[in-house]
Structure 1
Amino acid sequence: MKNALTILLFPLLFANPLFAQKTEFDLNRTLKSDKPAEIKHKVATFVNENKGTPLALYLEALTEPKAQQAVDKYIELLTKFPDSLQAEDATFRIGQYYFSRGLYIAARKYFLGLVEKYTQSEYADDAMYLAVACLMASRKYESANTELLKFLSKHPGSPFAKLAKKDLKEIKSTTNGKYAKLKPRDSKGRFTLQIGAFSKINNALNFRTNFSKLGVSTKIREKKRNGATIYTVTVGSFDNRESAEKFGNRFQKRYAVPYRIVSKN
């Protein structure tokens, strides 16, 4: 059986972009040796020779066997090197630690911080869902319901999408449907909300499908603009701009999608 250090380091570091930088510490080559003793020795040597650098501090935290002490080192990394390559990963790991300890307020703080600061992070959907999981664990169902809908709208292909849908069903069952899906009043009004515009019909269809999965009925309208065809996605039908704006504000708050009030003609 492989040493626990090998199991820990290999999947987390081997293909990690944090280590794409050129350093005297050839991590990829070290891991390919598949010799736990050699890995441990080389990591320790690098750390000792590069004290005070973010990478050395990160490796110290990553290889620290005691969870609390590892988290302390990650927090030290964020304090000293908030903009380092390793800060993003450290933020996620701190959130995971607090979540595993049942400290949901602290965990949610780090997950939300990651989503806000690292918008293109590979952890973005993981952190966003886990932030909602903190609300679920704290039985804050109204906020969780809203954020789950936003999550599914933003990350429909996430591995956590199925769990998010199950959570919505659980909320509905637990609260007797108190936080039902937002639906516009059905009328033959003159106004509607435009929530998307695309030059290709397939993109518009995919956008509409994402909302259909959330139970939101939308329509695709074809328009000519400066000689080009635009496919807009709209939701609702309203008698006046006031009612359209009232619904639009609620819609944007729940699904984090901007809108425009447009005439249906």
Structure 2
Amino acid sequence: MCRWAAYRGEPIYLEDLVSSPAHSLIEQSHCATRAKTATNGDGFGIAWYGDHPEPGRYRDILPAWSDCNLKSIARQIRSPLFLAHVRAATGGGTRRDNCHPFVHGRWSFMHNGQIGGFEHLRRPMEAMLDDALYTARTGTTDSELLFLMALQFGLDRDPLGAMAETLSFVERLAAHMKHEVLVRFTAAFSDGIDLYAVRYASDRFAPTLYAAPMGPQGGYCLVSEPLNDDDDAWVEIPEGTAVVLGENGIDMRIFHLDPEIEAKRALR
């Protein structure tokens, strides 16, 4: 499983999440404490928003702890909204195109989790994309494909609704093809204005997600695991929850899938 961190609020330096804290994202890349694997060395990436609608991005296949440029970049760049990710590959080779965050237009996306039996579901999932989005796919991961499907299903119009429709489609597809229904999904995504996150799993074992205030008043960060030992500062986001960080602060709500999917999930 991967580790990630995201922030929205008044501009802060990327290093405030990526490299400076005692348990920063770089530290988590070789010593994660709340994941199945302690090492996340299959690449890293950061996406940040500034003066343009589309995000800037820097990714590489090196482990985050060994990239000589990452700490320098994180120390110099300030942003009001950014996503950062260190990868432990569960599928797809170690190559730059498979490193998160993924971007398309003004949207950025990163993911921690997996789709069970993805090798059987990949082709019909790709068939749901129109030509433009299919051409935009450059990597081989389930994460990138989930992002493009959410764009196909209306991420611009209804971000949380599109993500729910995407995961509902995957679960229905797996059931239809007589494969195990297994989706574990903790993701962050943004249009450069609001920051969204979802923690969901079909088997109720979703990857972890925590939130805490950060930076000037009104800023928040979302992380796979806390950046320090101040347990009182960190709130664990419950499984089956969506988070929206916007102008009015943090909003948490129940993340609903298709009612039929929810009914079957309740029986598991």
Q: TM-score, normalised by structure 2?
A: 0.29
Q: Which structure shows the bigger proportion of residues in strand conformation?
A: 2
Superposition TM-score, scaled by structure 1 size = 0.29
Structure showing greater relative contact order (alpha-carbon pairs closer than 8 Å, 6 or more residues apart): 2
